[in-house]
Chain A
């Protein structure tokens, strides 16, 4: 079955430090990749997406991600985190065309420490 793997369930990081949240997906002919953020008791907010073209994707709140086809990865990065970035982050993929549903990773809890 198609899958998305987030290698870290929790990532603690000090404020203003850089962070990388890792995501790997199972290989597919066509793939669309997404990162979402979820704050407590709220829905999902799209951070960024990769559809095609440039492998470096910039999103909101200073986040960016790089699509690496050979490593089947789509890691999320931010050069300097803030306390307000503390949240749950989900990597998701649409592995196929049409209206196939998104497949989600298990999530990574980012905790920013003052």
Chain B
């Protein structure tokens, strides 16, 4: 149980285009989802926290107009990178948190974004 999927697993796009990444909790309801980005050989940096049905909370330094997060249901959150540029190339990882117990986070497999 507690599986989180991400789609696509990798994407290559041209500079200036927008890319949408989906994060789904497959067998549980996730009231809260987190989006992280990871640059090569670095740690995960939290971008934003999203709660179902409300606006996402962005970390300092993360452009909310560039990284649009939608958490429309208890099993789906999306991250849209708008007008992507090469510096947005990164590994994006989502996690979903359960409502029960200590709110364990379950991580998706990640999405590799390459902007040419």
Contact = CB atoms under 8 A, between A and B. Distances in A.
B93 to A, nearest CB: 6
Interface of B, secondary structure class, is strand
A98 interface: yes
Interface stretch (A21-29, A61-69, A71-79, A101-109): A101-109
Contacts of A107: 42-43
B49 interface: yes
B31 interface: yes
Interface in B77-116: 91, 93, 95, 97, 102-105, 107-110, 112
Given A42-B109, A43-B93, A101 B43 contact: no
Chain B, interface residues (CB within 8 Å), range: 20 to 34
Nearest to A107: B43
Chain A, interface residues (CB within 8 Å), range: 20 to 34
B71 to A, nearest CB: 13
Interface of B: 6, 31-32, 34, 41-44, 46, 49, 51, 91, 93, 95, 97, 102-105, 107-110, 112
Interface of A: 32, 36, 41-44, 46, 49, 51, 90, 94, 98-99, 101-102, 104-107, 109
9 contacts: A41-B91, A43-B6, A43-B108, A44-B44, A90-B44, A99-B103, A102-B46, A102-B95, A105-B43
